Amino acid sequence: MKLLFVADPLETFKTYKDTTYAMMRAAQARGHEVHACEARELQWSRGGHVVARIRQIELVEPAPQGDAHGHAEWFRVRHDSGVRAPLPLMRFDAVVMRKDPPFDNEYFYATHLLEQAEREGAKVFNRPSALRNHPEKLSILEFPQFITPTLVSRDADALKAFHVEHHDVIFKPLDGMGGAGIFRVGPDGLNLGAIVETLNAFGRHTVMAQRYLPEIVHGDKRILLIGGVPVQHALARIPQGSEIRGNLAAGGKGVAQPLTGRDRQIAEHLGPVLAARGLLLVGLDVIGSCLTEINVTSPTGFQEIMKQTGFDVAGMFIGAVEAAVAPQASAPTRP
């Protein structure tokens, strides 16, 4: 197949941990062509198709950890369409949207261009309309049986009342990523007013409040769903020191763990539902027995699980892309 990855600049990849890099390696190992572009390079004009300046690349061995920032020379360009004319996305067997968050206006516009490419015949994963319809924090509201007591509101009084009811509460913005902007307010209510004002900007921004889950000390588990099937190990992101956030970006330690019975219950319930909507790759966040987020934009954790368990997560993903592009092929096997 000819696979196109819409991603951040290749030169910024930290290859020793980047999930998109792992996908590209697995694709190349299976004999597929690997192509890449950036979301900012997508364009459309009347009478034409959605096109982009696209580079066909070849991954080179070995891929060292790189410089102090983790950057490495890990690919060579075999062909660059920019020296001639941009290429239509419909020419590729599959387009994999891997632009990292934030889900800002430009990301939103990119999903519309990718949806137009779908109308022209491109097969895009995850489906652009599904990316828009599944905001990562709010999507859990569809599955209340799996979540902790939760409130979503702009109203400062309602947010404060939620704390009075539950005593120990996490407050977070709906557009945060990597654990940014998350606050815990304990039973003493210290700084409750200031935190609510900071997050909701005096009623201008919607905030999510959730009852604090003490099981976070054992990790915020990332459960990967590929083609609706859960990967057999979760990646528990364990907070370090006095930190309450397990996010790897916030200094959490990633530890691969077998799925628990509750993990499987959640994953097997959500998997088929989300896959049917065109979400080929999903990252569920689970603390203890509770679902806390549904990540669909650019779920990560492949390399950490692969290195610690030997399970080929990236290979499973590329197999799911193959099956989605050629429906007569076998579906991803359950681990």
Where in the sequence numbering do the catalytic residues fall?
A: 137, 172, 222, 237, 245, 285, 293, 295
Handedness of CA 22, 296, 144, 161 (dihedral sign): positive
Q: How many CB atoms lie within 10 A of CB 226?
A: 24
Q: What are the residues facing 221 on neighbouring strands?
A: 236, 286
- Alpha-carbon distances, residue 254 vs 270, 283, 306, 310 (angstroms): 23, 15, 12, 15
Length of the chain counted residue by residue: 335
**Helix, coil or strand: residue 252:** coil
287 Cβ neighbours under 8 A, 6+ residues apart: 148, 213, 215, 216, 219, 220, 221
Helix (H, G, I), strand (E, B) or coil at 35: strand
Query: Would you say the C-alpha torsion 29, 65, 300, 262 has a positive or negative sign?
Result: positive
Alpha-carbon dihedral 270, 102, 221, 313, rounded to 10 degrees? 80
Pure H helices in the chain: 19-29, 105-119, 128-133, 156-166, 192-200, 261-276, 302-309, 313-325
- The full DSSP string for 47-63 is TS--EE--EEEEE-S--
